[in-house]
Amino acid sequence: MSAALEYEALTVESLPKRLSDVAALTSSVGPDSTFWQVQEVGDGNLNLVFVVSGPEGTVIVKQALPYVRLVGDSWPLPLYRAFYEYHALTRQAARAPGAVPEVLHFDESQALIVMEFLAPHVILRRKLIAGEQVAGLADFLGKFCAQTAFRGSELSMKSADKKADVALFAGNVEIPAITEGLVFTDPYFDAEMNNHTEGLDPVVAQLRGDVGLKVRVQQALQRFASNTQTMLHGDLHSGSIMSTQADSRVIDPEFVQYGPIGFDIGMLCANFLMAYFSQPAHRGDDLEAYQAWILSVITDTCAGFDAAFRALWKNERTGILYPASLFEYQGHDSAPACDAMLAEIWRDAWTFCGIEMHRRCLSLAHNADFEEIEDIPTRARLEARNLMMGAALVHQAETLSDVSMVCAMAQDFNRKDIL
Amino acid sequence: MSAALEYEALTVESLPKRLSDVAALTSSVGPDSTFWQVQEVGDGNLNLVFVVSGPEGTVIVKQALPYVRLVGDSWPLPLYRAFYEYHALTRQAARAPGAVPEVLHFDESQALIVMEFLAPHVILRRKLIAGEQVAGLADFLGKFCAQTAFRGSELSMKSADKKADVALFAGNVEIPAITEGLVFTDPYFDAEMNNHTEGLDPVVAQLRGDVGLKVRVQQALQRFASNTQTMLHGDLHSGSIMSTQADSRVIDPEFVQYGPIGFDIGMLCANFLMAYFSQPAHRGDDLEAYQAWILSVITDTCAGFDAAFRALWKNERTGILYPASLFEYQGHDSAPACDAMLAEIWRDAWTFCGIEMHRRCLSLAHNADFEEIEDIPTRARLEARNLMMGAALVHQAETLSDVSMVCAMAQDFNRKDIL
C-alpha cells in the first residue's frame, strides 16, 4: 500500500490484500496475507480496530474513521488524529517505558497504526464492572501519570524541545475540542446531544443553578485549553486501560495535547469513583470488599503518583524550572517547591475529576459502569451520588490535601440518599 | 532587494541603494533613494534602527542583528525574531487599533521591517527620568493591555485560530528564553552576567536566602513558560513605549509569545514603580508632585485595564470560555466569573511586577532610571527600596486586591531606610 493512496476505510475483507506488503505485518503475522485472519473489534466511537492473526503472531491494526461512530457521519472528524496518536505513543513509550503498546507501523495517509496485540488483556472497565481485581494496577497507573507528566514538562525537557512539541500537538484541534465541549460545557446547560437518566432532573437543575460551580469549571477549562504544562494522554479512563490479572497498559492517546498535569490523573480517579458508585448495582455479597478495593486503587494510584513525581523531581530535574542553582547549590532544600507544585496539581486533578464525574452522566458519552444498570431508579440513585460528589470535589478542590479525604468523601456519598 | 538574498546587516551608507526599489520606501520617503537621508538611532540591544527621511516623508527601518549588542557577538540570536515581531505588530494593530506603528513592509530574509516613523514621540523612559508628564498615558496603556489580552485569548478567539497562533509563536524560542533566564532565574543566584550596585550585597543575600520567594518566582516562571492565555507583547516597559505630551504608542514586540495575561501589565507597572523609586535622584522641588503623578498613572492604568476588560467581557465574549449558554442564557450574571478571572490576572501581574523589579537591578539589563544615578550610595539606597518592595509584591500577590494597596506599599517603601 503506497502512502500516496487516498484514504479508504479498511474492512475485514480488504485488509489482507491492502496491507499484504507492509513489513510490520508480514514479519509479525505471516508473509502470506491469504493466511491472515481478521476480526473487527472496535467498540469505541472514533476508529476501526482489527485483530490480525496468522501463523507467526497477532497484531492490532487501528484506523481512524472520518466521523464519530456514535452519531454517524453527521459529526466529521479529521483523520490527522492518527498522526497525533502515533506521536503520542512514541513519546509515552520513551517517557514511561513498557506502559503502552509498541508501534510497529504508521501510515499517515491511511490514518493507520499497526501495533502490538495485547493478550490476554481486556478493557479495565469490563473488569471493574465484573468485579475483578488487577494486581499492581495502582502502582502502574501512578507511575505512568507521574512519568509522562514530569518528563513531558519543562521540569525535564529542554525549553526548545517543549515548545516544538507544543507547536506540533497544537495542530490536534478537533479532538481536544470534543473535550472542551462535551466535558467542560455541555453538562452545565441544555446542550443538544445531552442525555441523562430519568429522575435526575432535580440534581441536574441544582448543578446548573450553581454559579460558583460553573465558574470553577470554566476556570478549569481555561487551564485545560491554555496551560501547556505537559503532554497529556487526554482521555485516560478505564476504557483506555487494558489489563490482565497482573499486567496493565494504557492505550488510545488520540486526545493527546499539552495541558495541565492534573488532568490525566484527575480523569482517571473520576472513572474509578464512578466504578465505585456503580458497584451496588453490579455486586452481591462482595460489594463492600470490592468497593474497598477500588478505593485502595485510588489511594495507591495517588500515592504512587506522588512518590514517582518526588523521585523524578530529585533525580531528573534538568529543565528550566526550579533549577538546582536556585535551591540545592545554595544549600536550600527544594522540597517546599515540590510540595507547592504537587498541591497545585492535586487542586487541578480533583477539579477535573469532579467535572468528568458530571459529564459521564449528563453529556453525550456515558460510562458503561452506570449505563449497564438496567433498573432506572437504581441507576438514577447511584448517579445522583456520583454527581453530587463531583460538585463537592470541584468546590473543595483546594482543600483536599490528601487522597484519604477524597476516599472518605466517597464513602460518605455512597451512603447518601440524594433522590 | 530580492527576498532570496542572503542576510546582510544594513549600514547608513548601504541602506539607500539596497532598499531603493522597495515600494514602501519609494512611496513614503521619495522615489529617488539618492535623496534619502539615513540615521542610525538604535539604542536597544538587539537591532539596527534607521530613520530614513526624504522629500515625501520619513520611515523607520528596523533590522534584527544576529547577536545581542550589549555583549557583542558572543551571544548569537536568531534573525527569525523579526518574523515574530512582524506578526505581533499586525495582531496588535488588529486587536488594539492605533496602538502600534503601522507596518509598511516586511522582508523575512533580511529580518527587516519598514514601519511608520513616530514624531515627535520619544521613549517614555526618557520622559520619566526628565520628569515630564504624558496626558492620556494610563488610559492608553490600560486599554492596550486589556484589548490585546482579551482579544488574543480563548475568551474571544476561535479555539482553532488560537491553537494555530500558539503553534506559530512557539517557534520564537531564543527570545523568550532570555526572559526565562535573565528575569526569572539569574537574579536569584550568582549568575555569570549579573551585576548590582555596590552596597546592595545584604539585600541580594536576603532575596537569595528567601526560599519561599524563589518558589513563588519559579511558579511564575512555569506560568510564563506554559500558560498560553493570550498573545503577550513580552517586553512592555517604559523603553517600549513612545510618547509625546499627549499621545503614546507601543513598539518592539519581538519578545512576543503566548503567555499569562498578567505578564504585560505587571512588567509595565514594575517599570513605573522603578521610575517612582528612582525619582529622589532625578527631581528637585517637584519630587512629590511627580512621584504622585507616577502613582496616578499606575492607578489609572490598572483601573483602565479593569474597565476595558470588563467591557470586552460583556460585549465580545465569543470564545469557548465562560459561554453565555452557561450564564446569561440561564439568567445567571457572569460577573462573578469575570471577578475571579481578574483576581487571578492581578495575582499574576503583581508577581511578575515584583520579579521585574528584581531583575532590573540584579541581572544583566538594568534600567536607565537607576543606572543614570551617578552617586552610588544614593543609587543603592533607592534600589534597595525597589528590591524589597519587589519581594513584598511577590509574597503578597494574592492579597493585593486593589491597586491602591500597591501604591500605598510604594509610598511606604519610599520612606524606608533599608541599607
* Span B94-115, pLDDT tens digits: 999 999 999 999 999 999 999 9
Q: How far is A180 from chain B (nearest CA, A)?
A: 8
Residue A200 lies in a domain: yes
Statement to judge: residues B85 and B146 lie in one domain:
no
- Nearest C-alpha in A relative to B226: A228
Statement to judge: residues B132 and B75 lie in one domain:
no
pLDDT of residue A108: 96
Supply the DSSP string of A263-302, one letter for each residue.
HHHHHHHHHHHHHHHHGGGT-STTHHHHHHHHHHHHHHHH
CA distance A206 to A147: 38
Of B163, B218, B340, the CB nearest to A173: B163
pLDDT of residue A195: 97
**B163 and A180: CB-CB below 8 Å?**
no
**A159 and B180: CB-CB below 8 Å?**
yes
A219 touches chain B (CB under 8 A): yes
**B211 and A332: CB-CB below 8 Å?**
yes
B-proximal residues of A, 179-198, CB under 8 Å: 180-181, 185, 188-189, 191
**Last residue of a domain, which of A68, A90, A116?**
A116
Statement to judge: residues A112 and A127 lie in one domain:
no
Statement to judge: residues A79 and A142 lie in one domain:
no
CA distance B207 to B377: 20
**Phi, psi at residue B49, to the nearest 5°?**
-130, 120
Statement to judge: residues A149 and A69 lie in one domain:
no
Average confidence (pLDDT) per 10 residues, chain B, 419 residues: 74 97 97 97 84 98 86 78 97 98 97 97 97 98 98 97 96 92 97 97 98 98 98 97 98 96 98 98 98 98 98 98 98 97 98 98 96 98 98 98 97 95
Q: What is the CATH number of the domain that holds B27?
A: 3.30.200.20
Statement to judge: residues B89 and B194 lie in one domain:
no
Residue B134 lies in a domain: yes
pLDDT of residue B72: 61
The residues facing B232 across adjacent strands are B257
Q: How far is B339 from chain A (nearest CA, A)?
A: 10
Residue B252 lies in a domain: yes
Residue-wise pLDDT for B178-200, tens only, equals: 999 999 999 999 999 999 999 99
Statement to judge: residues A251 and A290 lie in one domain:
yes
Residue B392 lies in a domain: yes
List of chain B residues whose C-beta atoms are within 8 Å of the C-beta of residue A219: 340-341, 344
Residue B7 lies in a domain: no
pTM (predicted TM-score): 0.96
**A327 and B214: CB-CB below 8 Å?**
yes
Domain of residue B158, residue span? 122-414
Q: What is the CATH number of the domain that holds A311?
A: 3.90.1200.10
Statement to judge: residues B130 and B107 lie in one domain:
no
Statement to judge: residues A133 and A92 lie in one domain:
no
Q: Indicate the average pLDDT of chain A.
A: 96
For residue B128, which of B350, B295, B378 has the smallest C-alpha distance?
B295
Q: How far is A222 from chain B (nearest CA, A)?
A: 7
Segments in chain A below pLDDT 50: 1-3
**A154 and B226: CB-CB below 8 Å?**
yes
**B337 and A171: CB-CB below 8 Å?**
no
Residue B68 lies in a domain: yes
**Last residue of a domain, which of A58, A84, A116?**
A116
**A214 and B332: CB-CB below 8 Å?**
yes
**A180 and B173: CB-CB below 8 Å?**
no
Residue B101 lies in a domain: yes
Statement to judge: residues A343 and A285 lie in one domain:
yes
Statement to judge: residues A405 and A270 lie in one domain:
yes
**Last residue of a domain, which of A116, A139, A164?**
A116
List of chain B residues whose C-beta atoms are within 8 Å of the C-beta of residue A223: 227
Statement to judge: residues A38 and A154 lie in one domain:
no
In total, how many domains does chain B have? 2
Mutate to test the interface with A, among B183, B208, B222 (most CBs of A within 10 A): B222
**A185 and B320: CB-CB below 8 Å?**
yes
Residue A64 lies in a domain: yes
Of B171, B189, B330, the CB nearest to A167: B171
